[in-house]
Structure 1
Amino acid sequence: MSRRSSRSSTMDQGEFILECKAAYLSMFDSIKEKIESQDSLLEALQQTGRNPSVKVLKKYWTNDTDELSFDDFVDICRKEPVTTSDDLMKAFRKIDINGDGYISLEELHKILTSKGEKKSKSEVKTMIDEVDENRDGRLDYKEEPVLRYSEFCKMVMSTTEESKKMQRKMMERKEKKKKQEIERRGDVSGSQVSVRSTASSVKNDLPRPSPRVKKDKSRQSSVSRSHKLDEPKNLREWTHTKSKGSFFMEDGSLICHQYDFNLPDDSKIWITMQPQKASRGMDSNPVDTSVFILRDRPDEDGNLLVAFTEHRDGRGKYGVSCDLSAGKYYIMPYTTGCRFKSRKSESEKEAKLVSQDKGGKYVITKAFRKVLEDIFDYSDLDGNGFMSRKEFNLFNIRTSGEEVADEEWQVVEDRIDLEDGEITKAGFLQLNELEAEDSEGDTEDLWTTLVSMGYNKQLIMDQACPFQLDVYTEDCDDAELDVVRVDSYPTYPGDLSFDDIISKSFIKHGEISRVKGMKDLCMYTYKNDGWASLVLDNKSHTRVRVELDCSRSENVISNHDSLQRTLRVDPGSTLIAYHLMPEDEDRDWQVKCTETIR
């Protein structure tokens, strides 16, 4: 048998399935959930002791892969071997970068932060100290290669096995607890429960403070990587309403789906929002997607904002819980713009949308068909598998700027078969095929649709970000969530812009610091689980020019191209100067800002 033979071939199949299940549930709440990215596939495989190469990952996560099920994951685990001692030995020798026969702290830190779960230098040093008998900070495999390496290897393999045991124990304990809860309720239907391994808990739930620079007079804000979303324990008993939506970048401005929320009865609510990865979207960290809840009219203190999402989990889902009185509210999606910006340039090469078959008929290409299927799914806002007239109308407003008139809808009904008055995915594809045929292969209108939906000339979605919005109500069974527009943010009562409302909320929840040399100019630093925002508040009667320098911040990206900019703040106004968030989600990050009056 090969030294790299899969462990599944040497263990009982039932035991193998349980091991896969425990690893899967260390990342997901249920085995019914799907793996939706290559990074998630890598992390899930690492939970089982496998460390696949990029080449291996691409074999299972191709350009056509949208998602993988638990059964797919099990099948991959059957085919791919677990990491062995021999594999570790080869890797151990490779990381001796300078070839001096020693593995230093710097060399080991480099290899342990190049892929997989990132480790800090202090963690790496702890690993070295456990093996390094002479305490010189280096591992020597020249003088005693077998003995010293065997200790290092034993430690790594032991850590993996202990993690698997912990996954199993936590899975069994939580499933037992869930079963007891079901029996108490008299509920005969079971469900999967969320399980976190020791490794995942360390990564997602424990803050690691960033190092501070001593004697630094700039504003500093250290942000941990702690992500924990505390959803209500009895959420399954609440009434659930959901909708899809998207952010779009149009001429440098952000527009998005916006919602009315009608609540007939007082109720506690729980709202979550998270990005949805496009099958042909950019391969990057998820775009931050948060929600602001506004009243339809100001309260007695003149406030419109009720609450907004501040806390998130490790997969980019933001959530907020609050008590609402019966009434009408606006639910406004928001993104900072740190990861979602205007395209810098467009590729000259253009993907082919239409071809001719043997009979000379114009047909859409396979790649274009796949994108149209995705567009249909994003436009099917209620997720029922069909596009209603209202959903088609919102799609048409987005792509042509016009509503669907009765005579135009009649044309749709005449040309394709509807199901219960709604467009099927097959019918939507047929409409586009008919358009290609009617235009005799001219793709100008087809490209108008694609560009409006955020795609570039290579059919990659880079100017749109789909999201999922979920609203739960505890004490109200007939709340209504209604998509009312796809547009830029409106002006609210009192001539308040959406930026004004956001600025006030960040000031209320942020930390204040006075700008040197200006008695009536303050800067507020607001931080949550995903980003930090800097807001300038000018209470003076004169316009102020302020230069902000955030270039010494660590591991950050911003909503602006430069971390140094000069701003003019009008008298009696507030201004969001920067949004900042980690460039690498797996590393600590720190905000440092210096202000200078000009």
Structure 2
Amino acid sequence: MASTPGNQKATHLENSQGKKSQHAEEAIFYMNCRAAYLTVLKSSLENIKSKEQLSLALQQAGRNPSQKTINKYWTSQTTSLNFDDFCAILKKEKPATKNELLEAFGKIDTDKSGYILHDELFKILTTRGDKMTWEEVTSITKQADFNCSDKLDYSKFCELYLTTSEQCCKAARDRLETDPRLRQQHFGNQTEHFSHGITLPVSKASPRVSRKTDHKLAKGDSRAPSRPSSAQSSKASTSTTVTVSASSSRNTKLIIEPDTMKEWQCAQSKGCFYLEEDGEIISHKYRLHLPQRSAVCVTIKPFTVPQAEGKSCRWLSVDTALFILKENETQENLQLVSFTELQNKEVFGWRGELGAGVYWLLPFTTGCRLRKVKTQITGEAELVWRDEDGELALTREFRATLLEIFETIDLDGNGLLSLEEYNFFELRTSGEKCDQEAWAVCKENFEMKKNELTRQGFLDLNLMEANDRDGDPWDLWVTLLSLGYNKALEMTEPQERALLQERAFWGGFSPVRNFRKVFCALFQLWFLAPAFAFQRTAQLSNASACPFVIDISAERCKPRIKAISLEAGGSQLSRAVCRSVVNKGEAKVLDGSENIFIYTYRSGSRITSVIENKSENKVIIHVNNEQSKNCLNNRGLAIFAVEVAPKSMMVSQHVMALNEQEEWIYSCVHSLVC
């Protein structure tokens, strides 16, 4: 039955209200980020330069970082973190809710009395987790607000914790609103315009940035500028606008004539992109060997894993590309040959002639769509069950998922796993490799053909792992989560961290200075089933994943492709991406700055911009996407700044359509800050 106009209007209104609510939540989030950041630093363009600054900024945002959490984001290689990094951390480190806190205490309060005896509290907090001293625990138990009769009323304790945490956030927001200098630090997604009566708790909306170098406000206009105050006096800027119709972004035909390629020899390999929690994308890398000069066709596309009925394939919208580099005498000196710039739906391809030799194939995705997608998961899937005889068996759903995984890690597609293929799986899920001796043991215990593991052997291997743990599915979940599956056995998103990471809560703020240690210790106990299970919890690594397949066809010889590593793209891929954009993109000089170039290149359904700094000094470039429509970028921010080292170039951003069924406009202003 056709919907009535009234129903259509109601649906449109609901969608509009949903978008307004989402935008308002985003606005509040970035306002809180900026308020906390500017409590510690003078400018949004200034970087965090120490662990102490990071810890203090997180506390001002209502978080409560433990030392382990700080070390996760500030490693031995870290020298600084910018505002973008800070926002990304806050997205991952969610503030606690009262229900979560009460659930944590409830694991200790087994008789559900609502209290924890001081003697038990002393024992827990001085011997487990983030250990506290006797004096520190005493300072907690002496607080009259939530203690009586040698017992801690943990409901009142949680209320005070949440109230104090919110006071910290509010103090940062109030300072942002009352300090004229800080109000000019509009740096983040906050400056988007909103309509339909949405009121944001920030200063008035900013004017659009024009291409002119003079960005002074019109007379009488008291609105704050959209760029940071340090950018107001910038003497160089340039704008770029690209309008893409709904039908043109995925209609570039691959120049492939099937009739002429019937006799060509082919090779194929599969692989996968994994988006780590810190935003890094890793994937398989390959070597291609051509014994003689030949016409070659190369394609890459998301791999459609055979799906169980009702499962989604959201990763099919992920963009892919393949960069072809010629290997010379040294592996460090790779020469960019070309990349797969032609597109036909989800397939990206390249066709040309390659000489005899060895080539590196580096898979690439912008990451715009390889991102967290929140879905409602009603429960955790069962992985194993016991039959009438008490024997463990894999559930039907888990068997289907394992066969999906087998198809993905069977890189050559021959229906068997070689030791090399199995080791890519092991490195991804356990960080270790299987040697020849261990492989021989597998051969004795599991079904193999031609020294390669069969599908049944792979299933039996996972069943053995469950038996080794007496039915505990922990290690099986480690495998699934590291390969991009969620608790519903869907390869669609990274698993939420709520049950998988150490919960770190705010601390070090009056009136209770030891909140953080208390909650770190108690939340570790939340996971102690069996005892000390938290040590295993902390090792979990989540990822969003997108499998892909590479096809190589050669006219005059048999191509050979082999996966050689599973790692981040690194400097070779970064240089290849930049060089491809510089070679083929439109170049613009920042007005008033002859040494700063902005290159913009559209390849199929994506647009990439690269900044080249030819000067002898580092520069900070402010990037404003406010006028873009129906777009999403890999940074997740409409406004941000990037630092470009002297005599170097770097990717400013990758942009794609939010909805490919509608027209989208990429409109970006790059401005020199310093």
- Tell me if TM exceeds 0.5: yes
Q: CA deviation at 1:220?
A: 0.6
Q: Which residue of 1 aligns with 2:275?
A: 249
Secondary structure of 1:358's aligned partner: coil
C-alpha distance in 2, partners of 1:426/1:96? Answer: 52
**Conserved? CA contact 1:346–1:457, under 8 Å:** no
2:614 to 517, 539, 555: 539
- Distance in 2 of aligned mates of 1:544 and 1:423: 53
Indicate the residue corresponding to 1:439 in structure 2: 469
Q: Percent identity?
A: 33
Q: Deviations over 1:25-82 (max 9, x none)?
A: xxxxxxxxxxxxxxxxxxxxxxxxxxxxxxxxxxxxxxxxxxxxxxxxxxxxxxxxxx
Give the Cα separation in 1 of the matches to 2:283 and 2:671. 35
8 Å Cα contact 1:274-1:318 kept in structure 2 = yes
Aligned partner of 2:256 among 225, 231, 251:
231
Aligned: 1:219 with 2:246 = no
Cα gap change, 1:216 to 1:268, in 2 (>3 Å): same
Contact 2:302-2:315 within 8 A present in 1 as well? no
Is the 1:524–1:536 Cα contact (8 Å) retained in structure 2? yes
Q: Quote the residue 1:418 is aligned against.
A: 448
Deviation at 1:281, TM superposition (A): 4.9
User: 2 CA distance for matches of 1:585 and 1:285?
Assistant: 13
Distance in 2 of aligned mates of 1:261 and 1:391: 17
Displacement of 1:597: 2.1
Higher alpha-carbon deviation: 274-283 or 416-425: 274-283
Which of 543, 554, 563 is the equivalent residue of 1:473? 554
Q: Please tell me the residue identity of whatever aligns with 2:548.
A: F
1:334 & 1:447 partners in 2: Cα distance? 27
8 A Cα contact 1:557 1:580, kept in partner = yes
Secondary structure of 2:317's partner? coil
- What SS class does the counterpart of residue 497 from structure 1 fall into? helix
Contact 1:363 1:437 in 2 (8 A): no
Whether the 8 Å contact between 1:544 and 1:597 is mirrored in structure 2 is: yes
CA distances 1:327-346 after superposition (whole Å, capped 9, x unpaired): 11001111011111367899
**Given the alignment, which residue of 369, 392, 403 partners 1:339?**
369
Output the CA distance in 1 between the equivalents of 2:449 and 2:476. Answer: 25
Render the CA deviation track for 1:292-345: whole Å, top value 9, x for unaligned: 00011289xx8710010111112x000101111101100111101111136789
Contact 1:291 1:332 in 2 (8 A): yes
When normalised by structure 1's length, the TM-score is 0.61
Is residue 274–residue 468 contact of structure 1 (8 Å, CA) maintained in 2? yes
Q: 1:392-431 maps to which residues of 2 (within 5 A)?
A: 392-431=422-461
* Offset at residue 537 of structure 1 (A): 0.7
User: CA separation in 1, counterparts of 2:455 and 2:615?
Assistant: 58
C-alpha distance 293-545 of structure 1, shift in aligned 2 (>3 A): same
Which amino acid letter does the alignment assign opposite residue 522 of structure 1? F
- Tell me the secondary structure at the aligned position of residue 450 of structure 1: helix
Question: Within 2, Cα distance between the matches of 1:588 and 1:235?
Answer: 35
Give 2:21's aligned residue: none
Alignment match of 2:629 (pick from 507, 532, 554): 554
Q: Which residue of 2 aligns with 1:187?
A: none
5 Å matches for 1:160-179? none
Q: Deviation per CA, 1:516-570: give whole Å up to 9, x if none.
A: 3322111110111120001111111111111111121121111011121011111
Confirm or deny: 8 A CA contact 2:271 2:408 kept in the other structure.
yes
Letter in structure 1 aligned against 2:325: L
Q: CA deviation at 1:440?
A: 0.3
Pairing 1:572–2:647 present: yes
Q: For the Cα contact (< 8 Å) 1:311–1:530, is it kept in 2?
A: no
- The equivalent of 1:145 in structure 2 is none
Which runs of 5 or more residues in structure 2 are unaligned? 17-207, 213-238, 494-543
Contact 1:364–1:433 at 8 Å: present in 2 too? yes
* Letter in structure 2 aligned against 1:572: K
Out of 317, 332, 351, the residue aligned to residue 286 of structure 1 is 317
Mapped to 1, the partners of 2:480 and 2:9 lie a distance apart of 51
Tell me the amino acid that sits aligned with residue 285 of structure 2.
Answer: Q
Query: Does residue 434 of structure 2 align to residue 353 of structure 1?
Result: no
Q: Corresponding residue for 1:41?
A: none
Deviation at 1:571, TM superposition (A): 1.2
Q: Secondary structure at the match of 1:373?
A: helix
State the AA in 1 paired with 2:343: R
One-letter amino acid of the counterpart of residue 551, structure 2: D
Q: What is the one-letter code of the residue matched to 1:247?
A: F
Do the aligned partners of residues 455 and 98 (structure 1) sit closer, same or farther apart at CA in structure 2, a change above 3 Å counting? closer
In the alignment, what sits opposite 1:190? none
Q: C-alpha deviations, 1:358-416, integer Å up to 9, x for none? A: 22222222221111010011111111222222222222222222221122112211212
Where does structure 1 lack aligned partners over 5 or more consecutive residues?
Answer: 1-86, 100-105, 111-212, 491-495
Q: Which residue of 1 aligns with 2:564?
A: 484
Secondary structure in 1 aligned to 2:448? coil
1:358–1:571 Cα change, 3 Å: same
* Match of residue 583, structure 2, among 458, 483, 508: 508
Greater relative contact order structure (CA < 8 Å, 6+ sep): 2
Aligned with residue 666 of structure 2, among 582, 591, 597:
591
Change (3 A) 1:537 1:429: same
Which residue pairs with 2:235 in the alignment?
none
CA distance, structure 1, for counterparts of residue 671 and residue 377 of structure 2: 40
User: What's the secondary structure of 2:388's corresponding residue?
Assistant: coil
Q: Which amino acid aligns with 2:293?
A: D
Quote the Cα distance in structure 1 between the aligned partners of 2:545 and 2:364: 13
| Residue range with higher mean Cα deviation, 384-393 or 317-326 | 384-393
Query: Using a 3 Å threshold, how does the CA distance of structure 1 residues 436 and 567 change in structure 2: closer, same or farther?
Result: same
Tell me the residue number matched to 2:517.
Answer: none
1:386 and 1:284 mapped to 2: Cα distance?
24
| Range with greater deviation from structure 2 (573-582 or 244-253) | 244-253
Distance in 1 separating the partners of 2:414 and 2:434: 21
Worse overlay, 403-412 or 253-262: 403-412
- Alpha-carbon distance between aligned partners in 2 of 1:343 and 1:328, rounded to the nearest angstrom: 39
In structure 2, the partner of 1:391 is 421
- Is the 2:270–2:547 contact (alpha carbons within 8 Å) kept by the matching residues of 1? yes
Q: Which residue of 2 aligns with 1:126?
A: none
- Tell me the residue number matched to 2:353: 323
Q: In 2, are the aligned partners of 1:307 and 1:322 still within 8 Å (CA)? A: no
CA distance in 2 between counterparts of 1:551 and 1:284 reads 27
Q: In 2, Cα distance between the equivalents of 1:406 and 1:567?
A: 47
- What's the CA shift for 1:286? 1.2
Which deviates more, 287-296 or 403-412? 403-412
* 2: CA distance, partners of 1:439 / 1:343: 32
**Structure 1 residues 453, 98: CA separation in 2 closer, same or farther (over 3 Å shift)?**
closer
Letter in 2 for 1:230: I
Equivalent residues, number: 390
Using the TM superposition, give the Cα deviation of residue 254 of structure 1 relative to its aligned residue in structure 2, in angstroms: 1.0
| Pick aligned residue for 1:449 from 471, 479, 498 | 479
Q: Distance in 1 between matches of 2:275 and 2:636?
A: 16
| Partner SS state of residue 248, structure 1 | strand
* Counterpart residue number, 2:397: 367
**Which letter maps to 2:657?**
P
Q: TM-score, normalised by structure 2?
A: 0.54
Amino acid corresponding to residue 280 of structure 2 in structure 1: S
1:84: which partner in 2? Answer: none
Distance 1:454 1:357 in 2: 29
Task: Tell me the secondary structure at the aligned position of residue 453 of structure 2.
Answer: coil
Q: Does 1:258 align with 2:285?
A: yes
Matching residue of 1:185: none
Counterpart of 2:254, as a letter, is L
For 1:265 and 1:451, locate their aligned partners in 2 and report how far apart those are by CA, in whole Å: 43
The residue type paired with residue 406 of structure 1 is: Q
